Amino acid sequence: MIDLNTILTIPESISPLTVSVIIFASFISSFISSIVGFGGGMLLLGILALNFPVSKVIPLHAVIQLGSNLNRLFFFRFKVKWNIFLPFALGCIIGIPIGGIFFYSVNEDFLKILVAFFITFNVINKFPTLSKNKMFLTGIISSFLSTIIGVTGSLISSVVQSFNLSKPEYISSCAFLLFTQHICKCILFGLMGFAFYEYILLIILVILSGILGTFAGKNIIYKIPDRFLKLGIRIILLLISLNLFINGLINILPSLY
């Protein structure tokens, strides 16, 4: 039986400062994603990982990003390249369960280090761009990785870019593919027993903050040069990934002796 008081409150283990930081991070991440199409999800993931164990970070990030990407779809009027959806969705159905098995069988601190490496790789390098004819394979690979480390928006966006879409179509298409991926992950984590209801109020507040961020980003999408935002987000992401790596390594080292 789900307690109504549990649904309408934020867990006592989460401090007001942490709540404020996460809500602000949601605004900034949605703002960034609405302008450059990627990067915001990694920022939010990094902030969550600094405040929660990875076993909670990935499910929470999935449901928050579910709302964030739905917001972007509404703001950009669902200008989606629909013919890329079906093969990608079929790939998700295969990649997510395999990723879930791996996720629940690996040490949390090791997962934290994986997240740190993934964020760093995205900042200093790019995923090899798959052909636009390989959306099924993109769905499998990105969904497997996303279930383990939370975000693969850069991999998906690099493939969607190969379709030469307008900026609104590009952002809408990325948002819809990520929405599909995250809803499949939420179903998986729910079936695996994650208690989403304990965080409903926090999730609602974070998603509402994301709506404001998307609205702000959409209204200045052509006014801020991408390069300034990309430089800023890269610096922040590197600092977050360094923190995660050191934290995970410190916790793992004692068990090796």
* Residue 2: strand, helix, or coil: coil
- Give the pLDDT of residue 257: 57
More confident residue, 222 or 46: 46
Quote the Cα angle for 185-183-155, to 5°: 70
- Give the pLDDT of residue 191: 92
Mean pLDDT, rounded, of the chain: 81
pLDDT in tens, 228-237: 667 777 788 8
Segment of 38-42, 97-101, 133-137, 228-232 carrying the highest mean pLDDT: 97-101
pTM equals: 0.82
pLDDT in tens, 74-85: 877 778 888 888
3-state secondary structure 34-88: HHHCCCHHHHHHHHHHCCCCHHHHHHHHHHHHHHHHHHHHHHCCCCCCHHHHHHH
pLDDT in tens, 129-166: 555 667 888 899 989 999 988 877 777 877 887 787 88
Q: Does position 48 have pLDDT exceeding 90, yes or no? A: no
Confidence of residue 36 (pLDDT cuts 50, 70, 90): low
